[in-house]
Homo-oligomer: A and B are copies of this chain.
């Protein structure tokens, strides 16, 4: 089994993106599963093109995209991506869509096919705060999640996929207002590791059940 984990490059004036900083800290093997870690650009549309190339290259069983949600205090396992692009700030190629569909004629929304409840439970059991989120926003995080789930729906039905939002890393809030929540990159990486474990366990349970029916 193989899981592709992506993290975005920095954007909006921040020097790092805790998403990819944390992704890099995830071990190359988790629960016996090979983990492929890749950086993707914080660019509407292009992130999906790159993602498809990575899927073609690595043929993963599951894809977990990871992004930063500045201001959130917990690991947020996203449940849903919506067909809407609306940017408060420009992306890294200066695009700033407003009230546009991501894919013309696409489904209004897609639900994650990751086991979101099991992931939240596993992360919390290991001492890291986590919860399900019902909005991935309307910036590039939602864009890549929507495009991933659209690819799965239309081209790669055997792949399981979803998105995880992570808080600011500790060093990012040093010059932000007191009260801005943060999490250390090490803790975020641990949280991602538990998310992967929960996904592997779910996949094996499902496969086992499928096997039993033969």
Contact = CB atoms under 8 A, between A and B. Distances in A.
Contacts of A92: none
Nearest to A180: B73
Nearest to A111: B108
A121 B50 CA distance: 37
Given A108-B111, A127-B170, A84 B73 contact: no
A14 to B, nearest CB: 13
A182 B127 CA distance: 12
Complex copy number for this chain: 4
A202 B187 CA distance: 33
A207 B124 CA distance: 49
Given A108-B111, A135-B135, A173-B73, A184 B181 contact: no
Contacts of A175: 124
Interface stretch (A17-25, A40-48, A74-82): A74-82
A129 interface: yes
Contacts of A180: 73, 129
A33 interface: no
22 contacts: A72-B178, A73-B173, A73-B179, A73-B180, A73-B182, A74-B178, A82-B109, A84-B134, A86-B132, A108-B108, A108-B110, A129-B182, A131-B178, A133-B135, A134-B137, A134-B138, A135-B135, A170-B183, A179-B181, A184-B186, A184-B187, A186-B186
